[in-house]
Chains A and B, each alone.
Chain A
Amino acid sequence: MKKYMFLALVLIMAFASVMAVSANETLKIGLCQPITGSMAMSGLYSTHGVQLAIDQINEAGGLQVGDKTYDLELLIEDNEGKPDITINAVSKLISDGVVAIVGTNSSSTSMAGGPIATSEKVVMVSTTGTNPDVTQVGGEYMFRSCWIDSYQGYLAAKLAYETLGKRRAAILYNNADDYSTGIMDFFVKSFEEMGGETFVQAYAGAEIKDFKAQITAFKDWEPDVIFIEAQAAELPLPTQQIRELGMDTQIVGAASWDNELLTQLTPKEDLEGIIYVTTFCADSDEPKAKEFVEAYKAKWDGELPMNQATMSYNAMRIIAQALQDCGKVDDPEAFRDAMAAVNMELPNGHFEYDENRDPQISGVLMTFRDGVGVYYGEIGN
């Protein structure tokens, strides 16, 4: 009996290997993300996103590059969310022969890994490293699938000026926070270039709870739109105080508003109608987005794709597209140029890079209805 089992096994294995040989060659893709540590959830979502893209490509018969078809294989290296470990992880992936690396999720680790990838001429795509310096420090092989902070500020200004037709913008920002300050700068610059007027009020740090003085100044200036952007936990109080002081001016924001904690901490009636620009909305009406959300939910037990998963999925899709455009797998320079020239449609809209290898992706507008963020529209260049 045992003998037959063994024989059967050998037959199956032989058959499988024949199958594999008769089908495609494999192409290795690296994933460098925090699989353990305090950012492990990001790593998990990222893996889900990339794995989905790879499975879709393989199930469709593989990736056609030039006149050959390749099956994609994912190699995962844990960077624990730390810059020094990222350097080792990236080196390991490169010595394992990956053609491109997806990762990492943070600006600091991307800046650590990027220079290694560039010196070895391997394309690396950061998923959510939004700091403008990521592609500067990382070098010419460093890309990203997310937008950068300045572009986000520009899109928010466009939302206020073009989509909503507002002309007088009051801005509240945290002058002790780089993220908030950076976005404020670009919002003001873009809004004024478009032809609007701005009025800026600061608050000095995350521990500030009282914004009544700033809001009183807003009231005097009579804005027709208010832009607030800071870390998500700092958003509920100014929002509530603006409404409490009797201002019903339209509030707009950026990606921080896409946060579950925020909706728990702010009363529904105060959030109602606030519009913000973010990268992706799971209940978007766009067919591409719907298709992605359905596929993702089906693969990962009903889990909804969040920002990290979407950006990782996109990173993998961008790499695949660039490989196809380039037509070869053994010419890193041509591959890099193809990456920079990529021009495609992704679940969250149109995607292409500017001269700094920073994406000019379209954003999604969301608004709060009854305390829940829902799809509002699209916004692009």
Chain B
Amino acid sequence: MNNIIQLLIYGLQLGSVYALVSLGYTMVYGIVRLINSAHGDYLMLGAYTAFYVSLLNGNNLILCLLGAMIASGLIAMLSDQLAFKPVREQPKFSSLVTALGVSLFIQNLSRALPFIGPIPKPFPTLITKKLYNILDITVSSTQILMIIIALILLFLLTYIVNNTKIGRAMRAVSLDRDASALMGVDINKTITITFFIGGFLAGAGGVFYGIMYPTIDVSIGSLLGNKAFIAAVIGGIGNLNGAMIGGILMGVIEIFATSINADIGFGVFYLILIIILIFKPAGLFGKLTNEKV
């Protein structure tokens, strides 16, 4: 029993990172119907930004987090302006391939940049580790803090989307882009802000990733982005609550499956994805809509 709770805590910790990344996926998909495979790479750049912020300013969690989030947000915005905007009116296939290209470009450019490079770097210790033993269950200060910060960010995002003007614009664009344009919503501005927020969350995910697995290299984003995408699909892509729950679910399932058998731990994602898509093709929380072609 203790073990189950212990594994659950690890799962929540991992799941909170997945949730942050899959939210970005889901938001961008909701607004521009684009599966942005470069999303994981924003996370990687965020982790490297935090690395350099800590090098310049010492191990300050808040500064690193802010630096990483803003940098990732700006890079997401920039990649939208430079790569996705020109193909926005093209068939969807173009933007899908563009996203793959952006992802490869970011990874390989980073590998070539002298201050990032191909050799892994040690991520600084941003949170002083303290272990608490409650009834045989070990909880670390890192886990508590990470889960709390993730919850704050998720709450903030929900608030922005549901209770602000830009949030309303985002929901409107997601529902019907042409109609919202007619109603006076600035589509381009909304899309830019969506990309920024998506990158912003991925940046936080990057810092969390670095704290959890303190070895960072240029490819950390690709696998994590992949898992987060599955989480978003399971939750119902385009649906914010779905992405959050999907992410946390993925984290918990991964840890439990690994504890049963290391080989299942990885494949189980895809199995769950297939099962959910068979019974609920739109994901757990998604609504099935007829795509207008």
Q: Tell whether A and B belong to one assembly.
A: yes
Residues of chain A whose beta carbon lies under 8 Å from any beta carbon of chain B: 175, 201-205, 207-210, 212-214, 216-217, 220, 233, 236-237, 240, 244-246, 261, 264-267
Structural contact, B120 and A265, CB atoms closer than 8 A:
yes
Q: Which residue of A lies closest to B131 (CB)?
A: A246
Most buried by B among A175, A208, A213, A217: A213
Among B6, B121, B213, B263, the residue within 8 A (CB) of A202 is B263
Q: Distance (Å) between the CB of B279 and the closest chain A CB?
A: 27
Among B14, B138, B213, B255, the residue within 8 A (CB) of A245 is B138
Among A204, A264, A266, the residue within 8 A (CB) of B263 is A204
Docked Cα-Cα span, A204 to B223, in Å, equals 14
Q: Distance (Å) between the CB of A170 and the closest chain B CB?
A: 14
Known contacts A244-B129, A261-B120; A212/B213 CB under 8 A:
no
Chain B hits for A236, CB < 8 A? 122, 214-215
Indicate whether B78 reaches chain A with its CB closer than 8 angstroms.
no
Structural contact, B266 and A210, CB atoms closer than 8 A:
no
Q: List 11 A-B contacts (CB under 8 A).
A: A201-B262, A202-B263, A203-B258, A204-B265, A208-B265, A209-B213, A210-B213, A237-B213, A265-B120, A265-B121, A267-B125
New contact pairs (16) apart from A175-B262, A244-B129, CB-CB < 8 Å: A204-B263, A208-B265, A208-B266, A209-B212, A210-B10, A213-B255, A214-B258, A216-B3, A216-B259, A236-B122, A237-B213, A237-B214, A240-B214, A261-B120, A264-B122, A265-B215
Indicate whether B135 reaches chain A with its CB closer than 8 angstroms.
no
Structural contact, A261 and B119, CB atoms closer than 8 A:
yes
Known contacts A208-B266, A245-B138, A261-B120; A217/B213 CB under 8 A:
no
Chain B hits for A175, CB < 8 A? 262-263
Top 9 A-B pairs, shortest CB-CB distance:
A213-B259, A213-B258, A209-B213, A202-B262, A212-B10, A265-B122, A204-B263, A246-B138, A203-B262
Docked Cα-Cα span, A208 to B266, in Å, equals 9
Docked Cα-Cα span, A207 to B125, in Å, equals 22
A-B contact count (CB 8 A): 74
Chain B hits for A210, CB < 8 A? 10, 14, 212-213, 254-255, 258
Structural contact, B265 and A213, CB atoms closer than 8 A:
yes
Structural contact, B215 and A214, CB atoms closer than 8 A:
no
Most buried by A among B212, B254, B262: B262
Docked Cα-Cα span, A208 to B257, in Å, equals 14
Q: Distance (Å) between the CB of B223 and the closest chain A CB?
A: 5
Structural contact, A244 and B140, CB atoms closer than 8 A:
yes
Chain B hits for A264, CB < 8 A? 122
Docked Cα-Cα span, A216 to B122, in Å, equals 24
Indicate whether B7 reaches chain A with its CB closer than 8 angstroms.
yes
Among B120, B125, B214, B256, the residue within 8 A (CB) of A233 is B120
Q: Distance (Å) between the CB of B228 and the closest chain A CB?
A: 14
Chain B hits for A237, CB < 8 A? 213-215
Structural contact, A205 and B119, CB atoms closer than 8 A:
no
Most buried by A among B125, B133, B138: B138
B141-167 interface mask toward A, CB cutoff 8 Å, 1 = contact, 0 = none?
010000000000000000000000000
Q: Which residue of A lies closest to B6 (CB)?
A: A216
